[in-house]
């Protein structure tokens, strides 16, 4: 196993923020090169990321530019896409072709929750992925999980053959009643199951903390970045073998690799700072969206849900009454997407949301804030 930091291919640098497939390969290649030069080798993608194009991006940025022994590759199979058991073979072969490899180091059944677990059982997905391991086309089999600790216990009890589990763990979700990071981690430890951590910075929320929290961290250690606290928190947990983070700037790659090259677990005094910071952040986050975009992929109205939530959060954090910045972005997005008020409450987005957000109700709040408002015209 490589060092404890993995490069997630879910939030890649783009040439056009409105086009999730407009990868900035000039920048992405530099990020990958720097990551590998610093001694790291784990890359994580999935069939559905970036509108089904992330696996192709990883082929171009990593696989075609480095020998196979220079990197470890993880990808995922989403059971909600399946209409028959036979489709799994087709999707798996398509993934091998998209990624340009003959085997995957890590292969996951994607986003296991109650419905996905039923689908996996219906299509014998656990048997399928084990067959790929026997064929040598997968080296390690696991699941990514977004549901209750009780269900996780059920899954791991039924499938001790799994090699690892991927969990959402961060200090803001540690005691959250919806995510239950701590209790899910405890279940993994009970089963002696190695853990890969996703969302250590919760979609960037823990990289841009409120000023009061930032000051607290900087007073304790002026040299450490704000994201480093979140990533070190996850990496310090017993049983965690890898922490995944999305990196789309050189500054992020250089920062993350700097403190993860010679990783030092958190000290007792640092935990005290983190819990104080968590209390501050909890009072400032309105919508706990991580920008995974699973909801957007399912929306029949093509509503830019995560983008609207980010604008709404930004609006709620704004001290002044000036709405112009968020509103301009909203209008631009709404010109090519459904407006927040176009939601028909079909519930498809909520089925897909790993954070279990009541999206249709939250979109009503977004609509009340942005829809129908006009900006004053500057006639100078």
Tens of pLDDT, residue by residue over 58-77, are: 999 999 999 999 999 999 99
The 10s digit of each residue's pLDDT in 146-160 is 888 999 999 999 999
3-state secondary structure of 183: helix
Mean pLDDT of all residues in 247-268: 97
3-state secondary structure of 170: coil
Q: Which of the residue ranges 39-43, 88-92, 122-126, 348-352 would you say has the lowest mean pLDDT? A: 348-352
Residue 307 clears pLDDT 80, i.e. is over it: yes
Report pLDDT for 333.
79
Distance CA 285, CA 209 (A): 10
CB 70 within 8 A of CB 109: no
Residue 376 clears pLDDT 60, i.e. is over it: no
Residue 44 gets which letter from DSSP? E
Report pLDDT for 374.
56
Checking DSSP bridges between strand 42-44 and strand 72-78, what pairing results, if any? parallel
CB 207 within 8 A of CB 201: yes
Mean pLDDT of all residues in 44-71: 97
Helices marked H in 70-210: 87-99, 114-122, 125-134, 149-158, 181-190
Distance CA 92, CA 137 (A): 10
Q: Which of 164, 53, 150, 70 is nearest to 108 (CA)?
A: 164
Stronger pLDDT, 314 or 242, i.e. the higher one: 242
Report pLDDT for 231.
98
- The beta strands (E) that lie in the chain are given as 5-8, 42-44, 72-78, 104-112, 138-145, 164-168, 195-198, 240-246
Structure tokens belonging to residue 255: 């920062």
Q: Which of the residue ranges 84-98, 231-245, 277-291, 344-358 would you say has the lowest mean pLDDT? A: 277-291
* 290: confidence class by pLDDT, cuts 50, 70, 90: confident
3-state secondary structure of 168: strand
Residue 380 clears pLDDT 50, i.e. is over it: no
Residue 224 clears pLDDT 70, i.e. is over it: yes
Residue with tokens 């994607």: 110
Residue 327 clears pLDDT 60, i.e. is over it: yes
CA distances from 310 to 152, 326, 338, 362 (A): 30, 9, 16, 12
Backbone phi, psi, residue 212, to 5°: -60, -40
Distance CA 299, CA 360 (A): 11
Distance CA 194, CA 107 (A): 14
Residue 119: is it exposed, middle or buried by C-beta count within 10 angstroms (0-12/13-18/19+)?
middle
Stronger pLDDT, 114 or 200, i.e. the higher one: 200
How many helices (H) and strands (E) would you count in the chain? 17, 8
CA distances from 313 to 276, 306, 317, 330 (A): 21, 10, 6, 12
Distance CA 273, CA 222 (A): 13
The percent of residues in the chain predicted with pLDDT above 90, rounded, is 76
Residue 12 gets which letter from DSSP? -
Q: Which of the residue ranges 200-209, 314-323, 329-338 would you say has the lowest mean pLDDT? A: 314-323
3-state secondary structure of 246: strand
Mean pLDDT of all residues in 198-202: 92
* 317: confidence class by pLDDT, cuts 50, 70, 90: low
3-state secondary structure of 57: helix
* 91: confidence class by pLDDT, cuts 50, 70, 90: very high
Mean pLDDT of all residues in 111-125: 93
Radius of gyration of the chain (CA): 21
Distance CA 313, CA 343 (A): 19
Mean pLDDT of all residues in 257-281: 95
Stronger pLDDT, 84 or 380, i.e. the higher one: 84
Distance CA 214, CA 281 (A): 10
* 379: confidence class by pLDDT, cuts 50, 70, 90: very low
> End-to-end alpha-carbon separation of the chain, Å?
62
Residue with tokens 């993880």: 74
Report pLDDT for 205.
81
The average confidence (pLDDT) of the chain is 91
Structure tokens belonging to residue 249: 């700037």
Residue 96: is it exposed, middle or buried by C-beta count within 10 angstroms (0-12/13-18/19+)?
middle
Residue 17 clears pLDDT 90, i.e. is over it: no
The percent of residues in the chain predicted with pLDDT above 70, rounded, is 93
Report pLDDT for 197.
98
The 10s digit of each residue's pLDDT in 120-146 is 999 999 999 999 999 999 999 999 998
* 321: confidence class by pLDDT, cuts 50, 70, 90: very low
Q: Which of the residue ranges 104-108, 223-227, 318-322, 338-342 would you say has the lowest mean pLDDT? A: 318-322
HSE value, Cβ hemisphere, 13 Å, CA-based, for 323:
14
Distance CA 357, CA 349 (A): 9
């Amino acid at each position: 196993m490589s060092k404890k930091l993995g490069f997630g291919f879910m939030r890649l640098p783009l040439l056009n923020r409105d086009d999730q497939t407009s990868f900035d390969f000039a920048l992405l290649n530099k990020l990958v090169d720097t990551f590998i030069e610093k001694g790291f080798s784990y890359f994580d993608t999935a069939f559905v990321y970036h509108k089904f194009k992330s696996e192709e991006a990883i082929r171009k940025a990593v696989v075609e530019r480095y020998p196979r022994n220079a990197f470890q590759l993880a990808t995922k199979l989403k059971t909600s896409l399946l209409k028959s058991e036979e489709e799994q073979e087709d999707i798996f072969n398509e993934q091998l072709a998209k990624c340009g490899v003959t085997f995957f180091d890590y292969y996951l059944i994607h986003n296991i929750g109650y419905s996905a677990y039923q689908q996996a059982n219906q299509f014998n997905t656990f048997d399928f992925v084990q067959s790929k391991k026997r064929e040598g086309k997968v080296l390690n089999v696991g699941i990514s999980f977004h549901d209750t600790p009780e269900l996780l216990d059920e899954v791991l009890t039924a499938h001790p053959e799994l090699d690892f589990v991927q969990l959402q763990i961060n200090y803001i979700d540690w005691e959250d009643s919806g995510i239950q990071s701590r209790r899910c981690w405890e279940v993994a430890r009970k089963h002696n199951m190695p853990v890969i951590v996703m969302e250590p910075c919760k979609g960037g929320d823990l990289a841009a903390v409120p000023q009061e929290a930032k000051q607290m961290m900087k007073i304790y250690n002026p040299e450490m970045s704000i994201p480093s606290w979140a990533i070190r928190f996850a990496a310090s947990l017993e049983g965690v073998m890898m922490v995944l983070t999305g990196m789309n700037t050189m500054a992020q790659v250089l920062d993350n690799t700097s403190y993860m090259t010679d990783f030092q677990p958190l000290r007792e005094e640092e935990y005290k700072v983190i819990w104080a910071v968590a209390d501050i952040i909890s009072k400032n986050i309105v919508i706990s969206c991580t920008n995974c975009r699973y909801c957007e992929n399912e929306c029949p109205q093509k509503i830019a849900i995560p983008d609207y939530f980010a604008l709404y959060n930004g609006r709620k954090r704004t001290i002044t009454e000036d709405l112009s910045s968020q509103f301009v972005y909203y209008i631009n997005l709404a010109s090519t997407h459904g407006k927040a008020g176009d939601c028909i409450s079909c519930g498809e987005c909520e089925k897909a949301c790993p954070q279990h957000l009541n999206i249709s109700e939250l979109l009503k709040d977004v609509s009340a804030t942005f829809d129908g408002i006009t900006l004053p015209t500057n006639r100078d």
